[in-house]
Amino acid sequence: MNDQNNRILIVDDDEYILLSLRVLLEPEFGEIICLTDPNKIPDTLKEHNIDTVLLDMNYSQGETSGKEGIFWLKNILNIDPDINVLLITAYGDLTTAVEALKYGAIDFIVKPWNNEKLIATINSVLKFSSNKREVKKLKSKQKALITALESDLPEIIGQSAIMKELYQFIDKVAKADANVLIQGENGTGKELFARALHKRSQRSEHPFINVDLGAITETLFESEMFGHKKGAYTDAKEDRIGRFEAGSEGTIFLDEIANLPIAQQSKLLSVIQNREVFPVGSNTAVKIDVRLICATNASLKELIEKNLFRQDLLYRINTVEITIPPLRERIDDIPLLANHFIEKYCKKYRRQHIKLPDYVERKLQKYHWPGNIRELQHTIERGIIMTTDNIFKSSDFDFLEGKESNENPFENYSLENLEKWAVSNCLKKHTGNISRAANELGLTRGALYRRIEKYDI
């Protein structure tokens, strides 16, 4: 490598050998640190960033067993497992030197050495060390990136009985390495549950690859999923790995699996069965190791009956099935979710916290929520944008069920119905301004709030 930034430590009790190695190696590799006493190794490693250690096998007078060298080899690697240790040994100690390789030494040189061969060996060791550091750096970056991405993802929120059961089920499934099919309506958070499975699995430190099959055209499916070779087709200007290869050792999440055409289903089935892909333009298989999680809002069994989905593919992807409940089946979680979104969007739009009263919570719980959590999220965001008060009113969410007709505002002319109608319409007239509405109705603000809560307005 001839890199003058390298730092090499040489440990040998023979000062002549240390001098010879310093004279030989210093012009080639930069800083050379020499020790005659191996007991100084720990302090030296702490004080200096050492790339490689050249370590003699014997130090005590008359000692030839090599046990001291093995002792200090273990000691060095215990301090820093990434340091490369190159043993210096006499010809008669070759058996011991070979044995030391099992304990982590990277190579050995035999005295007397050939200068050119010694330099070439150290160059190889330093190159290996550089590559190892680069791999470690890339893994560290990948881990940091995964952590950063996960920190930006919304969390699963819910404490209802049905959700607690689902959490327990996911914890069990996550530990297995079986393929999972997640079913649920649009907006229920299927991707979040897929990520939760990955995060709790043994593959958590490896990639999570999210693929929206509804967004990939039939013509690009193989290239996107399996990769391609340069020149495989007109726009293939360089080699490219596919999603399966990129996610190897991790998790592949195939969202909207029901959108996959029959022709592509056959190719996907082959990949799952053989655990290998053939990049477009190549006859050489690439082995893959992934956990497959699929999701759909459609009934795959109905699609099978219509010959739109392969039954054998369903058997492969649904070793375990998870059904995410719609929001209308977990209404106890609506206040918790709503307040979560209030906090999120108040921060986004730099608003003071907007309170969600109980009577407004009850109105949100009565709504059917066909768009599930996604609809609730957009509803809260819209409410924060539109309201000027620091407390939500029931009228802020009238748009959920359409405008009420004024032709028949009540079934009978009871005083309660008349009062409810008057309060509701007065609030609409003043666009939710409590003070103006209270003034027109001849009520105090407190009295108006009590009626708003009473009539769930």
| Direct distance between the N- and C-terminal alpha carbons of the chain, in angstroms, rounded to an integer | 77
C-alpha neighbours within 13 Å on the C-beta side of residue 328: 9
Residues 6+ apart with CB under 8 A from 383: 354, 392, 396, 397
φ, ψ of residue 100 to 5 degrees: the values are -65, -25
The pLDDT of residue 1: 47
Indicate the CATH number of 7-133 among 3.40.50.300, 3.40.640.10, 3.40.50.2300, 3.40.47.10: 3.40.50.2300
**Shared fold status for 7-133 and 161-325:** yes
What is d(CA 185, CA 323) in angstroms, rounded to the nearest whole number?
A: 9
Burial class (CB in 10 A: 0-12, 13-18, 19+), 405: exposed
What are the extents of the domains in the chain? 7-133, 161-325, 328-390, 403-457
- Measured CA to CA, the distance from residue 416 to residue 413 in angstroms comes to 8
Q: What is the pLDDT of residue 299?
A: 92
Q: Is the peptide bond before 112 cis (omega within 30 degrees of 0)?
A: yes
Identify the three-state secondary structure at position 65: coil
How many C-alpha atoms does 262 have within 13 Å on its Cβ side?
8
- The predicted-structure confidence for 116-149, as pLDDT tens digits, reads as follows 989 998 888 888 877 776 666 566 555 545 544 5
CA 168 to chain centre: 21
Q: What is the pLDDT of residue 36?
A: 93
Q: 205's torsion region: left (phi>0), alpha (psi -120 to 50) or beta?
A: alpha
Stronger pLDDT, 288 or 148, i.e. the higher one? 288
Is this prediction's pTM over 0.75? no
Q: Would you say how long the chain is, in residues?
A: 457
Asked whether 315 and 327 are in contact (CB, 8 A), the reply is: no
Q: What are phi and psi of 107, to 5 degrees?
A: -170, 180
**What is the CATH number assigned to the segment(s) 161-325?**
3.40.50.300
Q: With contact defined as beta carbons under 8 Å apart, do 194 and 253 qualify?
A: yes
**What is the third-level CATH fold of 403-457?**
Arc Repressor Mutant, subunit A (1.10.10)
Local confidence band at 216 (pLDDT 50, 70, 90 cut-offs): confident
Mean pLDDT of the chain, nearest integer: 86
Neighbours of 130 (CB within 10 A): 14
Q: What is the pLDDT of residues 359-394, one digit of tens each?
A: 999 999 989 999 999 999 999 999 999 998 899 988
Distance CA 25, CA 118 (A): 9
Three-state secondary-structure class, residue 443: coil
Span 386-406, average pLDDT: 75
Strand order of the β-sheet with 7-11 is 31-35, 7-11, 52-56, 84-90, 107-111
CATH 1.10.8.60 is the classification of domain 328-390: yes
